Amino acid sequence: MHADPLAHPVMTRVRQALGRPGGPGASPPIPPEIDESIARLVYSEVGLPELFVRRASEMKMLVERVSADDLLDRLVAFLKEHSLTNAMLSDTPILTRLNVCGHLRAHGVDAKRWADMSADDAYEFDCGITEVDYAVAETGTVGIRHRPEHGRLLSLTPFVHVAIVEPKTFVPDLIDLFAALKRDGIGSGTTLISGPSKTADIEMNTVTGVHGPNIVKAFVLG
């Protein structure tokens, strides 16, 4: 049998020195409340799109504010600018409602919905187009909860990831993000994306696109 380390005389003296009475099995102390005036850097929901655009751009994300009416044309223009001939799309409300898949096909793009693909198919596409569940203004980060209609490979395997950001998805900071994840659940997993994939060697030479997309484009609706 292993002795309880908390019952060791040395641990007893440590507890006494710290003014913590009680022996083995005592309830741990309740952590203090965090002073949000110290932890939070963003206090208001006013101006979140502007802050997100600035922070995301600093992280080398390509960010463009666009109206819902202009989204399809701007999306086609972006794909043509980067010579992208195929794209896979999440089966999410905006992309479905606007029939983005059909619109891209009409403009010569080989577009495919996630529901019509296998996981192996994802590695054949140069671009993944998704909506996001959260956009964190403080850090310029988008968050995606993965689920059957929104597979994780859509944003992880292609060279280019295009993210559609609705105004309702903005949260001020990471405190609000994790509160939202606690409320909504994380799905089969949640990916947080702050610009293109980046890594650095021991000499701190940064390389993009090693473990994920080389280009991340965000269309912010508004």
Architecture category of domain 43-199+206-221 in CATH: 3-Layer(aba) Sandwich (3.40)
Q: Are 196 and 207 in contact (CB under 8 A)?
A: no
User: Residue 86: its pLDDT value, please?
Assistant: 97
User: Residue 42: its pLDDT value, please?
Assistant: 78
Q: State the CB neighbour count (10 A cutoff) for residue 113.
A: 16
**Distance between first and last Cα of the chain:** 65
Tell me the average pLDDT across 153-182.
95
User: Residue 31: its pLDDT value, please?
Assistant: 76
Q: Cα 4 vs. chain centroid, distance in angstroms?
A: 42
Asked if pLDDT for residue 132 goes beyond 50, the answer is yes
Q: Where are the alpha helices (DSSP H) in the chain?
A: 9-17, 36-39, 48-58, 71-81, 93-97, 100-106, 153-156, 174-184
Can you read off the two tokens belonging to residue 23?
């022996």
Asked if pLDDT for residue 2 goes beyond 60, the answer is no
User: Residue 1: its pLDDT value, please?
Assistant: 45
If you count DSSP H runs as helices and E runs as strands, how many of each does the chain have, helices first? Answer: 8, 12
Radius of gyration of the chain (CA): 23
pTM recorded for the entire structure: 0.79
Asked if pLDDT for residue 134 goes beyond 90, the answer is yes
Nearest to 89 by CA among 197, 196, 164, 188: 164
Q: Are β-strands 170-171 and 190-193 bridged in parallel, bridged antiparallel, or unpaired?
A: unpaired
Q: What is the pLDDT of residues 193-217, one digit of tens each?
A: 998 876 766 666 666 656 668 999 9
Q: Cα 28 vs. chain centroid, distance in angstroms?
A: 34
Tell me the average pLDDT across 10-30.
72
Asked if pLDDT for residue 14 goes beyond 90, the answer is no
How many percent of the chain have pLDDT more than 70? Answer: 83
DSSP 8-state secondary structure symbol assigned to residue 102: H
Range with lowest mean pLDDT among 35-39, 74-78, 127-131: 35-39
pLDDT band at 30 (very low <50, low <70, confident <90, very high): confident
Range with lowest mean pLDDT among 122-131, 187-196, 200-209, 213-222: 200-209
Give residue limits of the domains in the chain.
Answer: 43-199+206-221
CA gap 208, 40 in Å, rounded:
30
Can you read off the two tokens belonging to residue 198?
């980046």
Q: What is the mean pLDDT of the chain?
A: 88
CA gap 163, 146 in Å, rounded:
14
- 139 vs 8, which has greater pLDDT? 139
Tracing tokens 């996001």 back to the chain, one arrives at 132
